[in-house]
Structure 1
Amino acid sequence: MSAQLSSVVLGAGLMGRLLAHTLAQLGHHVTVYEAQGPDAQGAAARVAAAMLAPLAESAITELPVVQMGQHALKRWPELIAPLSEPVFFQQNGTLVLWHRQDAAEAKRFEQLMHRTQQQLPSLPAAQTLNAEGLLQHEPALENRFAQALYLPGEGQLDNRQLLAALLKSLEQQNVALHWHSPRAPEDFQPGKTGQPDWVFDCRGLGARTEWPQLRGVRGEVIRLHAPEVTLQRPTRLIHPRYPIYIAPKEDHVFVIGATEIETEDLSPASVRSTLELLSAAYTVHSGFAEARILEVTTQARPTLTDNLPAIRCLGDRTLQINGLYRHGFLISPAMLDVVVEWVQHHTTHLATQFQLKFEHV
């Protein structure tokens, strides 16, 4: 009988928890080292809407991310199913709205999505809705907008429920969890006696010492409780400065986001950003006027020079997974499956399929 493989995962954000959970399922003895605590306060994934919207994101990202997003829509239900705690998952599509003064920008957005759909015919095409069609899809928006786009098949999940459920599963799988214990790849010599077989660096911006091309892009997100609002799916509002989304979670909680600022400053959100996000939400549905602000949060997303993810091999048995930027929930299942394929077969066809940078350093 072959000896049990041992793996060390550095970082317990979304990618770290997902990978540790999957490796434990595969029979590895897994140890996790995290610089902060179990509540994921330092993780970009905690400050997110967790939307799974490959076609909508195609207006601001590259085709490989869209392809990984398609993969995620199939994989997330499979990844959530074995977790012991429930995770809200919804696949009701995405609604795209705009005000009359932003019609030209909306047209450009529609053209970008049409181009993507031509390149990837397997993506469901965007549907143009008139006022009557919009009423059928989203009754809460009656008489508020004359037209919209509906992107069928897109989805979302609850990011914080997922992080908590993954943590619970790690505990149940007897994964060794070391909180407030920062480690780096050079602390280990995988393959040697007394050392792990594999090391996986999922530290996000914490890996910048070894990967200097990483930078942080600040995002600001508002969580509201709005009992008067009954939106049934993620809604995007065309905005002249940045795309604004409203993601409805369970119990009338809504995630409103997100600004995108080239800085790693994690000070509280600015008045300008807060006003813009809340004002945009109010123009979509007046019920947000009576909403209660649960929190206004900021975080820096780990981003590489081209805003695309990458995997690096530091030797034969040390992998760095990073650069998920604003697409963590959209692309992490694909990144996970590439890593697992490499561990099991020491080759990866998926990386080629997704045009993912897989570098040997």
Structure 2
Amino acid sequence: MIAHPSSFAILGAGLMGRLLAVSLARAGHAVAVYEAQDASGQGSAARVAAAMLAPLAESAVTEPGVVRMGQHALTRWPQLLADLQAPVFFQQNGTLVVWHRQDAQEAARLRLQFETTHSALPALPAMQALDSAGMARLEPALAGRFAQGMYLPGEGQLDNRQLLDALAREMAQRGVAVHWNTPREPADFAPGTPGQPDWLLDCRGLGARAQWRELRGVRGEVVRVHAPEVTLQRPTRLVHPRYPIYIAPKQDHLFVIGATEIESDDLSPASVRSALELLSAAYAVHSGFAEARIVEIATQCRPTLPDNLPAIRQTAERVLEVNGLYRHGFMIAPALLDVVLELLQTGQSPLASAFDLAVDLHSATSALSLP
């Protein structure tokens, strides 16, 4: 057993790095964080995200283990947010899926997928089919615009940038030593030796490619718009012939519109084609987007492993790496957080098995006694 309290160095202050830093600091441990960028999270995939918590919706493109992580997140995020000093926008009004007539066949395929997922995971609320009257009752802003849709109850979302800011404040309040604009590598530390932290946690995403060579970037592009004429009450997904487009409403008529997934680690500005597709799709959902003001068109690359699934591995004694969150960062981060904490407490994680999460321990992990 390692004596309590212990010390940790965390590489990367994206979503996972901040969550781990806050949790460990709350437990009474000394934590130092090293981040290559500044406190705004500019270098993090978490900053350019819609932060939707949609396990049933995402079952169309991912594995059951990730869906179960999403179920876990719907319970854990309210708990995690309640412990923060700064407020973070969070809603759990479900997800709406709509489509135009020409995409009815793809919508039918999605419906079958949702029904199959619910059969395998009955704890998930079942998809509800909507006719035009049901659509008008559920989402009045879309009344008369779509003849039918699907409602996925219980799914949620939060404001990613508010959360990153709130976690940064919490780290400061909890005494975490945060070194912004200070890139570090695992080789810069010798955990467990005199003058060094007891543990090293590497959460650098694509910044860890030199050590985790299977990582690749999957480029995402999103548009943030201010649309006072649009009053969508929940994330809305438009069935699209090439990829599903989402519109996530935040506070004060701010909307995040996204969908593009390009196998590339190119961080150049968004293409005209991508921007036109996203904005045209939003306008096709609600004509009020025609008068919206473009606040930002942003790009970022999601850290992705060959199977598009997250993983945790121990590469050396007292060194844990967490990576591969792909497009599901906010939906799976609470599960990964709780798995890492279990590993540090006991050297094993029943949760990891429940989530089909790959955990590769280099050697028997020393147990850390957390209160």
TM-score for both structures, normalised by structure 2: 0.96
Match of 1:109 in 2: 110
1:303-322 correspondence to structure 2 within 5 Å: 303-322=304-323
Match of 2:290 in 1: 289
9-18 or 182-191: which moved more? 182-191
Cα drift, residue 113 of structure 1: 1.1
Match of 2:163 in 1: 162
Structure 2 Cα separation of the partners of residues 7 and 125 of structure 1: 42
3-12 or 148-157: which moved more? 3-12
Cα drift, residue 171 of structure 1: 0.5
Cα drift, residue 38 of structure 1: 1.0
Structure 2 Cα separation of the partners of residues 272 and 241 of structure 1: 13
Match of 1:171 in 2: 172
Cα drift, residue 43 of structure 1: 0.2
Cα offsets for 1:96-141 (capped at 9, x unmatched): 0000000000000111111111110111110000001111100000
Asked if structure 1 preserves the Cα contact closer than 8 Å seen for 2:222 and 2:258, the reply is yes
Match of 1:347 in 2: 348
SS class of match (2:326):
coil
SS class of match (1:258):
strand
Structure 2 Cα separation of the partners of residues 164 and 210 of structure 1: 28
Match of 2:212 in 1: 211
Cα offsets for 1:260-313 (capped at 9, x unmatched): 000111111111101100000001000000000000000000000000000001
SS class of match (1:331):
helix
Match of 1:23 in 2: 24
Cα drift, residue 204 of structure 1: 0.1
Structure 2 Cα separation of the partners of residues 75 and 290 of structure 1: 37
Match of 2:225 in 1: 224
Match of 1:239 in 2: 240
Cα offsets for 1:181-235 (capped at 9, x unmatched): 1111121111111111111000000000000000000000000000000000000
- Letter of the aligned partner of 1:279 in structure 2? S
TM-score for both structures, normalised by structure 1: 0.99
How many equivalent residue pairs? 361
Structure 1 Cα separation of the partners of residues 127 and 206 of structure 2: 35
Match of 1:197 in 2: 198
Match of 1:252 in 2: 253
Structure 2 Cα separation of the partners of residues 113 and 322 of structure 1: 27
SS class of match (2:260):
coil
Match of 1:265 in 2: 266
Structure 1 Cα separation of the partners of residues 356 and 28 of structure 2: 29
- Letter of the aligned partner of 1:69 in structure 2? G
1:33-182 correspondence to structure 2 within 5 Å: 33-182=34-183
SS class of match (1:153):
coil
Cα offsets for 1:234-281 (capped at 9, x unmatched): 000000111100000000000000200001111111111011000000
Cα drift, residue 315 of structure 1: 2.3
- Letter of the aligned partner of 2:54 in structure 1? A
- Letter of the aligned partner of 1:339 in structure 2? V
Structure 2 Cα separation of the partners of residues 3 and 113 of structure 1: 46
Cα drift, residue 360 of structure 1: 2.6
SS class of match (1:231):
coil
Cα offsets for 1:153-188 (capped at 9, x unmatched): 000000000000000000001100101111111211
Cα drift, residue 3 of structure 1: 4.8
Structure 1 Cα separation of the partners of residues 4 and 319 of structure 2: 19
Structure 1 Cα separation of the partners of residues 285 and 211 of structure 2: 44
Structure 2 Cα separation of the partners of residues 27 and 355 of structure 1: 30
- Letter of the aligned partner of 2:218 in structure 1? V
Match of 1:278 in 2: 279
Cα drift, residue 356 of structure 1: 0.3
Structure 1 Cα separation of the partners of residues 62 and 341 of structure 2: 25
- Letter of the aligned partner of 1:292 in structure 2? R
- Letter of the aligned partner of 1:48 in structure 2? A
Structure 2 Cα separation of the partners of residues 254 and 60 of structure 1: 23
Structure 2 Cα separation of the partners of residues 208 and 264 of structure 1: 11
Asked if structure 1 preserves the Cα contact closer than 8 Å seen for 2:4 and 2:29, the reply is no
- Letter of the aligned partner of 1:150 in structure 2? Y
Structure 1 Cα separation of the partners of residues 297 and 200 of structure 2: 35
Structure 2 Cα separation of the partners of residues 343 and 186 of structure 1: 21
Structure 2 Cα separation of the partners of residues 44 and 3 of structure 1: 33
Cα offsets for 1:292-343 (capped at 9, x unmatched): 0000000000000000000001223110000000000000000000000011
Gaps in structure 1 of 5+ consecutive residues: none
Match of 1:357 in 2: 358
SS class of match (2:210):
coil
- Letter of the aligned partner of 2:89 in structure 1? F
Runs (4+) of structure 1 exceeding 4 A deviation are: none
Gaps in structure 2 of 5+ consecutive residues: 363-371
Structure 2 Cα separation of the partners of residues 256 and 300 of structure 1: 16
Asked if structure 1 preserves the Cα contact closer than 8 Å seen for 2:12 and 2:35, the reply is yes
SS class of match (1:319):
strand
Structure 2 Cα separation of the partners of residues 19 and 70 of structure 1: 20
Matched, 1:324 2:332: no
SS class of match (2:261):
coil
Alpha-carbon RMSD: 1.0
